[in-house]
Structure 1
Amino acid sequence: MADAAQDPKNERIGLVEKLGYGIGDLPSGLYLNFFGAYLLYFFVDLGGVAPAAMALMLLLSRVFDAITDPVMGVISDRTRTRWGRYRPYILFGALPFGLTGFAIFAAPDMSPGWLLVWAYVTYGLTMLAFTGVNVPYSGLLGVISPSTKQRANVTAYRMFFSGFAGIMVGVLATTLIRELGGDDEARGIMMTMGVFAALSVVIYIITFATTKERIPAVTTNTAVKRDLTTLLRTTAWIAVVIAAIFGVLSIASRASSARFFFKYVAGDDGAPVFLFLDRFGLFLTALAIGQISGVILGLRLQRRVEKSHLIIAGGIMKMLGIIAFSFVPLDAVWPQTLAQYVVGVGFGFLMVLSFSMFTDIAEYIEWKSGQQMTGLTVSASIFGVKVGTGLGAFAPGIALELTGFDPGVEQTAQSLAGINFAFAILPALALLPAAGAMIFYRLTHATMERVEHDMAARRLDEARSLQ
């Protein structure tokens, strides 16, 4: 440990551990992508639940997360076991994560009112299990290495698998739903979610077994109130959270309304248009491939360009992609696919850089204040991502309700306008405050180099004092 603390730039994390940590984001990526694509559609279009009622449920779940995410961050920061602070939660939270996720779509035949109750209970439990695993998983990134460059490198593996989860949902979900469900689309969705849930449990066990925590816990921790006060006074954290909320809202609103767009606006009948992919599957796949491309490109460019500038550039790319998609004919499959790929590249920039920023902020706070609060910093930051996801599902639900959406029938001009608002207009507009927030992020390359150097010396002194 002393050598790593002395010169973190020389530390290298092995390929097995990078892959082991990176694949740990596949379960959350599968869940969030699948929920984004099918949750609103499953309960509203197939189950008959009122769009506004589902929208409210999704929003309230994020309010609940406002409490559970920071609490989980505080708990994991203060956990001390032979496996570390964060890794035990990944191991023991794996099975609840899988079971609750499957339960959402395993709803028995019931009235829309009771189906809404089912959604509240099962989705709430799933998000609680999600917090119990994903917050410690993200906190683990902050202690996997004292080197900001090594953490950024590991983040790239994480974001690759996050994007790969999107490809899996895009390529496999529509096909599995069709093959496993036959004429029963709801059953197909349930069975497909069961496959993803079982795979997620196995993956989390692999992540636990292949990773290490290299930054030792401090012997004492400050009061929770002081930690929260410090966080809320950190301008860089506020800037990244705002960017995450609006940047993810843009993608989530577009994803939540895409199934409605292709079915009711574009008139897609679900027939394959490329190999076994239908238009919706191709749409999701293009976004995911673009996201992976953005992760790779963002990782390379961040060595020479400030992270905040790259996020702004990514936002511009997303906006241009959304506009281009809207101006091509409805039946122009490949121009739409290319435009969606560009949107994905911009989203990849946001994801790989924002998660790297979260751990930089945690390191900066410890350098400036002496408070080690990686779990709280990251969990509070993830809350921003969840808020964006929740608002991205809430807004389409409200738009459908206000414009008179009626499931399973030909839509009025007003309801079609509501779908288009959620699918294109809102996602484009949300990118403006996301880009504006990055102006206030001031943790430059030079600043983080100084932080890393000083923290390495501090940790070396602490290690020597214990000898």
Structure 2
Amino acid sequence: MTASTPVPPTAHHDAPAPAPVRPTTPWRYGVGMFGTSIPINLIKGSMLYFYVDLLGMDAAIYAAVYAVYGILDAIDNPIFGYLSDRTRTRWGRRKPYLVVGSLVLLGAMIALFSVPGSVAASATSLVIWFAVFAILSEMADSLINANYGALLPELFPAEKKRATANGVRQGAQLVAMILALGLTPILAQNVLGCSVTATECADPTIGYSRLAVIFGVLGVGVILYMAFGVRENPAIDSEERPPFFASIKQIVTNRYFWTIGVVNACYGSAMAIVLNGLQLYVRYTLGGGGLEATVLQVAVVLGAIGMLALWARAVRRWGAERVWKTALPIAAVAFIPIYFADSLLTAVLAGLCIAVGYSGVLATNDLIMARVLDDDARRHGVHREGIFLSAFGVLGRLNGLIVAGALASLTVFFGYRNGNDPGEDPATTFRVYLSVYPFLLLLLGTAISRFVHVPGWNGSRDDEATEDPDGGGGAGPRRERVETFRGDLGD
């Protein structure tokens, strides 16, 4: 149904009640983020280092490909979300895409980090190989996350269980980051392969190739375990399928799209820059290798895990909106100390500052988005979490353009091209890249967040308007369906 189609008060009694659905446990759903995070963190955290510093691709060319990567990443998101929202199968709306996407991601990621010698020897072939498998990996990741993220508000309509599931998700993501970010340098350079600085290292890329296979199989296994344990809401099958252009129009005219969406894009761009450049920061600014990069990254992630429980407690006490608006400026200021670090110890201390702000935004972002999805479904009487999240993802995933611009600026302003031609002062180059750029992006996000009023189930002006604004009655049936599913879940 749509918001403009009146529904008789007794219409929902005429249809047969859906069979009771056993609840999906917050743990079974939340652990899926461990699987979704391992592949993409390996890709985002090592792709720049692998192709530019190890294989010698020009940084400006890498930036150009990454810009295309970012544009396609933004375009395919709403398409995947739209298809998912309209899908009706015996296995549910989201599960088929999770299964297919994970298998495609596995193959593309392994190929991305397994460059044949003949390809690596040709600059043109290397760029083509990188472009094909980086973009294919991105599309598979988009397909997975468009469906995985859309499940959160559907599976857990009650705020308490939703917060629990999100807590499990974020904890699982941080554990995955320890493996795919923190341990990758030492595993790839010291355990499974060798370092580029070692005198007897014939192929410094082999460790990353082996790690891509291990992390790919592990991540996909966890995604499949989660997907086959998810039980979607069968009541949604009777809903009218959301139209594409009407949905896009309603979404882009929604004020939250241009406020919360841009704030999330600033945050996502800042973290993407950090993931791309941390190994290079350690090499050129700190003069370290795989061990030092691992120590720094593990320290940051462990610090974030430790702070996550405190931020979650703050959310329960003061609400997601207030905590979100507090965490953003803390996250911005936290990037200042990393600029002045000149040793592993001072970098770790600066990294712990970053962990404080990072975990605060991590603990609140998805809760803020879920509230926006609730508000949309209540107003328009249709579940379209996939396309709505994906439309927001257009802004967030355009961070590829911002990262590409940041990378290109390293060549323009600092002369950095690759590992063979790092410019006159690569130490300062990556101080700026890892500190100044994220600070400015988060400062912009903080400023915009001051103008945001987040909708909620109760206690806000937006929530008091339970009837459809067009008078169509779409909100009523939506609320009844949610309450029915909530009862099934025992919430």
**Change over 3 Å in CA distance of 1:222–1:168 after alignment to 2:** closer
Question: Equivalent residue for 1:265?
Answer: 285
Range with bigger deviation, 400-409 or 128-137? 400-409
CA distance in 2, matches of 1:461, 1:20: 23
- Alignment of 1:32 with 2:40, yes or no, is yes
**Change over 3 Å in CA distance of 1:307–1:437 after alignment to 2:** farther
**Change over 3 Å in CA distance of 1:392–1:165 after alignment to 2:** farther
CA distance in 1, matches of 2:466, 2:229: 28
CA distance in 2, matches of 1:393, 1:383: 15
Q: Offset at 1:410?
A: 7.9
Range with bigger deviation, 196-205 or 208-217? 208-217
- Alignment of 1:372 with 2:391, yes or no, is no
Question: Equivalent residue for 2:409?
Answer: 399
**Change over 3 Å in CA distance of 1:75–1:170 after alignment to 2:** closer
Report the 3-state secondary structure (helix = DSSP H, G, I; strand = E; otherwise coil) of the residue aligned with 1:85. coil
CA distance in 2, matches of 1:238, 1:340: 31
Q: Offset at 1:81?
A: 1.3
Pick from 435, 440, 455 the counterpart of residue 446 of structure 2: 435
Q: Offset at 1:33?
A: 2.1
- Alignment of 1:179 with 2:191, yes or no, is yes
Range with bigger deviation, 344-353 or 439-448? 439-448
Aligned length: 443
Question: Equivalent residue for 2:351?
Answer: 340
Q: Offset at 1:123?
A: 0.8
Question: Equivalent residue for 2:364?
Answer: 353
Report the 3-state secondary structure (helix = DSSP H, G, I; strand = E; otherwise coil) of the residue aligned with 1:81. coil
CA distance in 1, matches of 2:339, 2:165: 36
Q: How does 1:163-202 map to 2 (within 5 A)?
A: 163-177=174-188, 178-182=190-194, 183=201, 184-202=203-221
Question: Equivalent residue for 2:301?
Answer: 288
CA distance in 1, matches of 2:317, 2:402: 33
Whether the aligned pair in 1 keeps the contact of 2:26 and 2:161 (CA below 8 Å) is no
Question: Equivalent residue for 2:247?
Answer: 227
Pick from 212, 220, 233 the counterpart of residue 231 of structure 2: 212
Question: Equivalent residue for 2:435?
Answer: 424
CA distance in 2, matches of 1:168, 1:461: 40
**Change over 3 Å in CA distance of 1:345–1:41 after alignment to 2:** same
Q: Offset at 1:53?
A: 1.0
**Cα deviation digits, residues 164-189 of structure 1 (max 9, x gap):** 11111244312321211133321111
CA distance in 2, matches of 1:415, 1:176: 25
TM-score by length of 1: 0.87
Pick from 98, 102, 126 the counterpart of residue 106 of structure 2: 98
Whether the aligned pair in 1 keeps the contact of 2:36 and 2:144 (CA below 8 Å) is no
**Change over 3 Å in CA distance of 1:304–1:193 after alignment to 2:** same
- Alignment of 1:301 with 2:320, yes or no, is no
Please tell me the residue identity of whatever aligns with 2:241. N
CA distance in 2, matches of 1:382, 1:258: 24
Please tell me the residue identity of whatever aligns with 1:161. A
Aligned-residue CA RMSD (Å)? 2.7
CA distance in 1, matches of 2:234, 2:361: 26
Please tell me the residue identity of whatever aligns with 1:221. R
CA distance in 2, matches of 1:303, 1:345: 18
Q: Offset at 1:117?
A: 0.6
Q: Offset at 1:148?
A: 3.0
Report the 3-state secondary structure (helix = DSSP H, G, I; strand = E; otherwise coil) of the residue aligned with 2:382. coil
Q: Offset at 1:223?
A: 2.3
CA distance in 1, matches of 2:168, 2:176: 12
CA distance in 2, matches of 1:452, 1:143: 21
Q: Offset at 1:193?
A: 1.2
Range with bigger deviation, 285-294 or 177-186? 285-294
- Alignment of 1:387 with 2:407, yes or no, is no
CA distance in 1, matches of 2:319, 2:307: 15
Report the 3-state secondary structure (helix = DSSP H, G, I; strand = E; otherwise coil) of the residue aligned with 1:304. helix
Stretches of structure 1 that go unaligned for 5 or more consecutive residues are 3-10, 271-277
Whether the aligned pair in 1 keeps the contact of 2:324 and 2:364 (CA below 8 Å) is yes
Q: Offset at 1:254?
A: 2.2
Whether the aligned pair in 2 keeps the contact of 1:396 and 1:419 (CA below 8 Å) is no
Pick from 313, 320, 327 the counterpart of residue 333 of structure 2: 320
Range with bigger deviation, 352-361 or 428-437? 352-361
- Alignment of 1:55 with 2:63, yes or no, is yes
Whether the aligned pair in 2 keeps the contact of 1:51 and 1:398 (CA below 8 Å) is yes
Higher helix share: 1
Larger Rg: 2
Whether the aligned pair in 2 keeps the contact of 1:29 and 1:162 (CA below 8 Å) is yes
Whether the aligned pair in 1 keeps the contact of 2:182 and 2:293 (CA below 8 Å) is no
Stretches of structure 2 that go unaligned for 5 or more consecutive residues are 1-11, 13-20, 195-200, 468-474, 485-491
CA distance in 2, matches of 1:148, 1:463: 13
CA distance in 2, matches of 1:311, 1:101: 33
CA distance in 2, matches of 1:209, 1:98: 18
Range with bigger deviation, 145-154 or 412-421? 412-421
Please tell me the residue identity of whatever aligns with 1:279. E
